[in-house]
Amino acid sequence: MGKMFYELEVRGHIRVPPTSFTEKMNSEEIKESVLKKLNEDFEGYISKDLGVVIGVSEVLSIGEGAIIPGDGAAYYDTTFKILAFKPEVQEVVLGKITDITDFGAFIDIGPIDGMIHVSQTMDDFVSFSKSNVLTGKETKKVLKVNDHCRARIIAVSFKEPSNPKIGLTMRQPMLGNLKWLEDDAKKKSKPAKSGKKGEK
C-alpha cells in the first residue's frame, strides 16, 4: 500500500499582520499568532511539490521577528511541520466509489477523488446503465456507488492546482471491487479442496 500521507518539515518567513501582535508579546503569544497564520495560509493549499496540505501539525522553531518598514507586520523565520496528502504514480489505494458516469467511476481516496476511466474499471467490455452501474459483459462484474475498491494510481496531474487529477486503474491482479476479490478467492479455494481429498 502507498504511503501517501507525509509529514514534511518546511521553513519560511511567516507574516503576522500588525493586528495580531503587540510590542510586548511573549513567546507563547507569538507562537499562537504564527500557528494561527500558518493554518490560515495552508488550509486547503495544493501544490505539485507538497500535494494537498491537510494542516500544520507542529511549529518547531520561531526565530526573531523582523518588522518591515511601511508594512507594519512582523516576519518570523519559522520552521514547522505540515501533514500533506501526496499521491504518487504506482501507489495502490483503497477507496469508496462516490459517483459513476458513462466515462468512468470517481473514487474517494482521501482529501481528493481519483477517476477510473471506464476502460480501466475491469478487464472486460463494460456497459453503463441509467441506474449508474457499470457491468462487465463476460464476467458479469458490477460496479456501483459506495463499493469499496482497490486501485493503482497511473497518472497524477497538477495542471489545475486547485483541482489535481488522479487517474487510476483496476485492470491488474488483486485490484478492483473488494467484493470481486472475495468472490475470486472463494472460486479459487473450492477446486483446490476437492483435488486434495487423499492428502492430510
Q: Give pLDDT tens digits along the chain (200 positions).
A: 457 889 999 999 999 887 765 666 788 888 888 999 999 999 889 988 889 999 998 999 999 888 888 888 889 999 999 999 999 999 999 999 999 999 999 999 988 899 999 999 999 999 999 899 999 999 999 999 999 999 999 999 999 888 899 999 999 999 999 999 998 888 888 765 555 555 55
Q: So what's the pLDDT on residue 118?
A: 96
Q: So what's the pLDDT on residue 186?
A: 87
Q: Which domain holds residue 53?
A: 5-85
Q: Let me know whether 105 and 76 are in one domain.
A: no
Q: Let me know whether 119 and 148 are in one domain.
A: yes
Q: Let me know whether 112 and 144 are in one domain.
A: yes
Q: Is residue 53 part of a domain?
A: yes
Q: What is the DSSP letter of 187?
A: H
Q: Is residue 162 part of a domain?
A: yes
Q: Let me know whether 58 and 133 are in one domain.
A: no
Residue 187: all three cell numbers together: 472460486
Q: So what's the pLDDT on residue 18?
A: 77
Q: Let me know whether 79 and 114 are in one domain.
A: no
Q: Let me know whether 96 and 165 are in one domain.
A: yes
CB atoms within 10 A of CB 183: 13
Whichever domain contains 124, its CATH number is 2.40.50.140
Q: Let me know whether 81 and 11 are in one domain.
A: yes
Q: So what's the pLDDT on residue 37?
A: 92
Q: Is residue 195 part of a domain?
A: no
Q: Let me know whether 107 and 162 are in one domain.
A: yes
Q: Let me know whether 106 and 181 are in one domain.
A: yes
Question: Could you tell me which residues are beta bridge partners of residue 97?
Answer: 107
φ, ψ at 43 (rounded to 5°) = -65, 120
CB 129 within 8 A of CB 143: no
Q: So what's the pLDDT on residue 20?
A: 66
Q: Let me know whether 80 and 96 are in one domain.
A: no
Classified as helix, coil or strand, 194 is: helix
| pTM summary value | 0.79
Q: So what's the pLDDT on residue 191?
A: 62
Q: So what's the pLDDT on residue 128?
A: 95
Q: Is residue 200 part of a domain?
A: no
Spatial distance between the Cα atoms of 146 and 99, rounded to a whole number of angstroms = 8
Residue 7: all three cell numbers together: 509529514
Closest to 149 in 3D by CA, of 188, 117, 101, 109: 109
Number of domains, the chain: 2
Q: Is residue 149 part of a domain?
A: yes
Q: Let me know whether 49 and 123 are in one domain.
A: no
Q: Let me know whether 81 and 97 are in one domain.
A: no
Q: Is residue 123 part of a domain?
A: yes
Classified as helix, coil or strand, 186 is: helix
Beta strands at 165-169 and 5-16: parallel, antiparallel or unpaired: unpaired
φ, ψ at 174 (rounded to 5°) = 70, 5
CA torsion, ordered 44, 45, 46, 49, to nearest 10 deg:
-140
Whichever domain contains 70, its CATH number is 3.30.1490.120
Q: Is residue 146 part of a domain?
A: yes
Spatial distance between the Cα atoms of 22 and 19, rounded to a whole number of angstroms = 8
